[in-house]
Amino acid sequence: MVTASPRALNEGSSLRVVEVSKHFANADEPGARTHALDRASLSIAAGELVAIIGPSGCGKSTLLRLIAGLDSPDSGGLWVGSEAISAPSAERGLVFQDPNLFPWLNVRHNIEAGLVARGVLREKRHEVDEFMRLVGLETFAKAYPHHLSGGMAQRVALARALINHPKVLLLDEPLGALDAFTRMKMQDEVLRLWEARRTTMLLVTHDIDEAIYMSDRIVLLTQRPGRIDRVIEINLERPRQRNSPEFLRFRSEILEMLHFAGKAAATV
Amino acid sequence: MNTASVPVKEPVQASLPPAKAAHAVAVVAATNSKLRLRALLAVPIMSAIGIVIHLTVRKNDPEPDTTSYLIFLGGILGLSLLAGAAQFYFDGRLRRWMAHMFPIIAGAIGLLCAWEVITSGVRLLPLPYFPSPASVLRNMILDWELLFDSTWHSLLLLLGGYLLGAVIGIITGICIGWFRQARYWGMPMLKVIGPIPATAWIPLAMVISPKAVFSAVGLIALAVWFPVTMLTMSGIANTRASYLDVARTLGAKPAFLIFRVAIPAAMPNIFIGLFMGLGTSFLTLVVAETVGVRSGLGWYLGWAQAWAEYAKVFAALVIMAAFFSTIMTLLFKLRDRVLAWQKGIIKW
């Protein structure tokens, strides 16, 4: 059910992260500081879909929060297009692993929230229906979040972020809590949204298959303090085959880089 | 309520072969009618027993005329028989209501019977402190004008104080919960002044206020203010950080964060505060009416007690029970409406 848009959309914008470092005060030990990110640099072209993978606690989520503007870096700078990032903005949407839908609002009002927040609901009300159709939830307009399945709730979260037409969409393990089948279906959904709108997307995941299946490039982060370890270009045709030999070659390559290929491989 | 039984029955019919389905339906109908019969007869039988008890023991009652109680029980008997007949002609709503309510009504009449047996019947409790239900009802009817007037005054006082306290409490709670400066200065004040029972301010309130009514409104408002502020504050301060983060990335400004995220998220807490405040407001109302204000149900209680008219004391207590529980029910209804989104998340 690909809804081909009449307009040629190209909403994405380039994203630059330059030499960004971030420390956090340690809650348990006063005075001690956790070094979350160490001079991480990253450059993403407009309309690109880049995945970030790395061990847990490597600062992936920290990087996304910095790009979203929810935290500010200790040093270094971040830019969307030519604009420096200093505060949260509707131009940079964020979707978490937990959909974080407002439980007191029904599906329609959740999707509308961005329009209300920006004070443009009156002019853009017609887009609400469009986005509910886009994620296939038009019949659930009046349902409250706790009646939705995990996959449906995440689709609402996507529509809620997309209704602001963000230049960059940040996805923090958005499919991490879904079962394997729903997850594969949702990967196609996200790709469909991306292909239709060409929003620049930055996807944090720890599912290697997901990263290979979806992204143009994969960024590997090191163990804390997070540093960009390697960038892998995924030059596969879309739509991709999860079981093609090229796909599997990428997979084993990345597993080896992460030292998860298995004991036999590690000793070679 | 009425939807609960329907979806259960249909799948049973659909999934079973016809013969078994018919059997299942018959079983359901049989248990229904058995339940209905028992529920149907509970109230008429209980009120008939009440009438018999009353006719047997009425000669012991110091109250000269107890016809009103007889009419009351007779009325219930008549209405319940009427309802029993009507439910054959109406849709299931009346039947379900009866199945639900008749046992509890019968139980209440049973309590009245026990009360009458203990007082007029075996004279277990000393008079005049424990009058019979017939005597209480008669006094309620004789004194209805003054009781009505007292209830009306109590209502005005309660509503005035409660609304004032709730509104101020919600506003201060939001300020203390959201703004760091307000929390720094407000929290100590809340912690030190809040726990003083509102009634302890009575001596001071009487000096400050020119009229007892104003001081009573102020005291009730104070009694409501503390729990409402406390709960609102903790609800606002504990708004899930991720809701606020999401709202910020959607382009929210501070007003949106407060009014569209923090306050809705704090609503369940605010209602807990409103319920606690309602409880303390009843207490403060009765005390204030007993010591200062010269009207209302609390005043009526003291007045009846001074004249040793204990039937009137009981009458006032019955009215109070009905009055306070009605207001409590209204607040529950408001909560059900405002927090409709919680249906299915938590059990009320």
B21 pLDDT higher than 70: no
| B345: nearest CB among A105, A146, A161 | A146
* Residues on chain A touching B239 (C-beta within 8 angstroms): none
**Segment B79-105, tens digit of pLDDT:** 999 988 888 887 778 888 888 889 999
The token duo for B107 is 């139980």
pLDDT of residue B127: 78
A266 pLDDT higher than 60: no
On whether any CB of chain A is under 8 Å from the CB of B181, the answer is no
Residue B263 sits in a domain whose CATH number is 1.10.3720.10
Q: What is the distance between the alpha carbons of residues B42 and B80, in angstroms, rounded to a whole number?
A: 9
Q: What is the distance between the alpha carbons of residues A262 and B14, in angstroms, rounded to a whole number?
A: 53
Burial of B195-218, coded b for 16+ CB within 10 Å and e otherwise, reads eeebbebbeebeeebeebbebbbb
CB-based contact B252 A117, cutoff 8 Å: yes
Cα B105 → chain centroid: 17
Question: What CATH number does the domain located at A15-26+33-262 have?
Answer: 3.40.50.300
Q: What is the distance between the alpha carbons of residues B222 and B193, in angstroms, rounded to a whole number?
A: 10
**Segment B273-287, tens digit of pLDDT:** 999 999 999 999 999
Is residue B102 domain-shared with residue B153, that is, in the same domain? no
pLDDT of residue A267: 44
On whether any CB of chain A is under 8 Å from the CB of B3, the answer is no
pLDDT of residue A60: 86
Is residue B92 domain-shared with residue B238, that is, in the same domain? no
pLDDT of residue A31: 76
On whether any CB of chain A is under 8 Å from the CB of B256, the answer is yes
On whether any CB of chain A is under 8 Å from the CB of B244, the answer is no
**Are the C-beta atoms of residues B191 and B244 closer than 8 Å to each other?**
no
Complex-level ipTM:
0.89
Instruction: Kindly write down the DSSP assignment for every residue of B196-258, as one continuous string.
Output: S-GGGGHHHHHHH-SSHHHHHHHHHHHHHHHHHHHHHHHHHHT--HHHHHHHHHTT--HHHII
B4 pLDDT higher than 50: no
B267 pLDDT higher than 90: yes
On whether any CB of chain A is under 8 Å from the CB of B259, the answer is no
B176 closest CA partner among B165, B191, B164:
B191
CB-based contact A146 B344, cutoff 8 Å: yes
pLDDT of residue A136: 86
pTM (2 decimals)? 0.84
Interface of A with B (CB under 8 A): 68-70, 88-90, 92-94, 96, 98, 100, 102-106, 113-114, 116-118, 144, 146-147, 160-161, 164, 170
pLDDT mean over B161-190: 96
Mutate: best of B245, B249, B263, B270, partner A, most A CBs <10 A: B249
**Segment A168-219, tens digit of pLDDT:** 999 999 998 888 888 898 899 899 989 988 999 999 998 999 999 999 999 9
Is residue B173 domain-shared with residue B291, that is, in the same domain? yes
Q: Which residue of A lies nearest to B248 if distances are taken between CA atoms?
A: A88
On whether any CB of chain A is under 8 Å from the CB of B97, the answer is no
Q: Which residue of B lies nearest to A71 if distances are taken between CA atoms?
A: B245
Q: Which range of residues forms the domain containing residue B185?
A: 144-342
Is residue B177 domain-shared with residue B317, that is, in the same domain? yes
pLDDT of residue B31: 53
Average pLDDT of chain B is 87
Q: Which residue of B lies nearest to A162 if distances are taken between CA atoms?
A: B250
Interface size A-B, in CB pairs within 8 Å, comes to: 74
Is residue B86 domain-shared with residue B64, that is, in the same domain? yes
Average pLDDT of chain A is 88
Reply yes or no: is the peptide bond before residue A225 cis, omega within 30 of 0.
yes
Last residue of a domain, one of B130, B158, B183: B130
Q: What is the distance between the alpha carbons of residues B105 and A137, in angstroms, rounded to a whole number?
A: 47
B324 in a structural domain: yes
pLDDT of residue B35: 57
Bridge partners (DSSP) listed for residue A220: A53, A230
